[in-house]
Homo-oligomer: A and B are copies of this chain.
Amino acid sequence: MCKPEKQPSAKSLGEHAIIELMRSRFEAMPDVVVPFGDDVSALPFGEGDVAVLKADMLVGKTDVPAGMSFWQAARKAVVMNVSDFASKGAVPRAVMVSLGLPPNLTQSDLVALADGLNAGAREYGCYVVGGDTAETSGLIVSVQVYGASKKDGLMLRGGAVVGDVLAVTGLFGKSVAGLQLLLNGSLRVPERSCGALVDAVLMPQARLREGLALRASGAVSACMDSSDGLVWCLNELGVQSGVGFVVSNLPVAKEAQEFAELNMLDAAELALYGGEEYELVLTVKPDLWAAAEAAVAGVGGKLLPIGKATAGKRVLLDLNGKQRVIHARGYEHFKT
């Protein structure tokens, strides 16, 4: 009997397999400086300089929860791209945007989108310099950011070595808790924490000042942003650097902890797998820890040590002396 081969669908493959499949088909640029697989792409421009490029698209249906305004959605689309620049320590300069707009959007919706794009760009010293619009059934905000940088010192994903201090620029779990609050009215949270949780979803911040200061410190061996979740980051940094990690101090936000306790959820799960957070996850050369910490403090931020890079090639969580393996799993489009 003839049985046609059943092709896997985008849905069954999931986002990471799709990206891997596609990049395997692209011919590699011979002189590329940062190829596929890092937070940004970079190519040479003049002597020792690189052009830095990032493209990341916000899709209304999946990335804009109930309660998020057009202004906030457009701003967020810029912030998610800036966050990738932050993680490399590169200055973003110009924003291009392709907007897919449903035909029933009103003029004030369009103004809100434009103002949100402008606000996101200006918050980080950029300008919107060009773009394009088209008609789509749901909102699409496809943003590209361009910047120029010295080639030396870009903080890539693959530089961590055994013994490096694992660190983050903030606490985790607020975005996922805030998102659950927005989506499910029956969840509870103390009044005083509500704003912080919802703000984490609606008004995310890119750690650009911190990323630029960290790069300037020369203390960082590897870095990425945590938009796909903390565990995904640790897995990526580990694979690309050829190391493992032990996390001995899980960076759980107190608001996420309270939210978890009140709603019988696991706070560690929220912090590990939440995603849509824009902290930097990085490794620091142990002898330069003080320099890295001072650099971040100098721009008003805080660098938190959470563990260290190991030879074990796995990610272990050390909770009160008991170690367990954390498996790679992050937020993936298509599969969720």
Contact = CB atoms under 8 A, between A and B. Distances in A.
A272 interface: no
Contact of A106 (B8, B24, B45): B8
Chain A facing B: main interface SS = mixed
A57 interface: yes
B107 A13 contact: yes
A51 B95 CA distance: 12
Contacts of A118: 25-27
A31 to B, nearest CB: 10
A113 interface: yes
A128 interface: yes
A22 interface: yes
Interface residues of A, number: 82
Given A18-B133, A19-B133, A104-B9, A114 B26 contact: yes
B137 A61 contact: yes
A109 to B, nearest CB: 8
A9 B55 contact: no
A102 B144 contact: no
B41 A96 contact: yes
A133 B53 contact: no
Contacts of A127: 26-29, 32
A98 B24 CA distance: 16
A26 to B, nearest CB: 4
A25 B137 contact: no
A131 B20 CA distance: 11
Contacts of A283: none
B8 A107 contact: yes
Contact of A55 (B22, B28, B131): B131
A53 B129 contact: yes
Contacts of A11: 103-104
Interface string A91-114: 001101111111111111111011
A266 interface: no
A333 interface: yes
Given A134-B333, A142-B98, A111 B25 contact: yes
Closest 6 CB pairs of A and B: A41-B130, A29-B127, A7-B106, A25-B114, A142-B142, A11-B103
